Amino acid sequence: MDQPTSTAFADGGIIPAHHTCDGAGLSPPIDWSGLPESTATVALIITDPDAHDFIHWLASDIPPGSRAGGLPEGASGSAAAGVEGRNDFGTVGYGPPCPPSGEHRYVVEVFALSDRLGLERGYSEAELRTRMQRVLLDQGSFTGRYQRGR
């Protein structure tokens, strides 16, 4: 798998306010390519390591779009995002960055999987990671940064 990317921000770049609690809070576009041929689905996890790995988004059983694909802006809550899990805000779907102080990093992990996971909406990160272990083909990640009031 090639390194996943976003057209909204570069790896290590600033996440636009449009994708945070200071804006519309829409999930960012996420693109992937170079998936293994046997990829059946894609999963993703967005965490904030500066807040004890706070979960912002869990999504599984995302249609891979052949060897290259992705999620458009605002995909959370739509069929494009597959089956979504519970974030650490206590809701299902994308929870936008909203750091209480200072700059935080947001790690976007994308996983190529050989089979559907069949998780129920609202699953936890632990359930997702456990289920992925048996079908993980490849993975990649990139990071965005955000600080409120910038």
> What are the pLDDT tens digits along the chain (150 aa)?
999 999 999 999 999 999 999 999 999 999 999 999 999 999 999 999 999 999 999 999 999 887 788 999 999 999 999 999 999 999 999 999 999 999 999 999 999 999 999 999 999 999 999 999 999 999 999 999 999 986
Is 98 domain-assigned?
Answer: yes
Copy the structure tokens of residue 122.
């609202």
Give dist(CA 96, CA 93) in Å, integer: 10
The pairing of strands 13-14 and 136-146 is parallel
DSSP notation for 66-79: TTSEEE-TT-TTSG
Task: Compute the Cα dihedral for 71, 74, 79, 83 and give only its sign.
Answer: positive
Give dist(CA 17, CA 59) in Å, integer: 22
* Number of domain units in the chain: 1
Is 34 domain-assigned?
Answer: yes
Name beta bridge partners: 39.
Answer: none
Size (the chain), residues: 150
Domain of 54 in residue numbering reads as: 13-146
Is 44 domain-assigned?
Answer: yes
CATH number at residue 86: 3.90.280.10
Place of tokens 């894609």: 42
Name beta bridge partners: 146.
Answer: 104
What is residue 81's three-state secondary structure?
Answer: helix
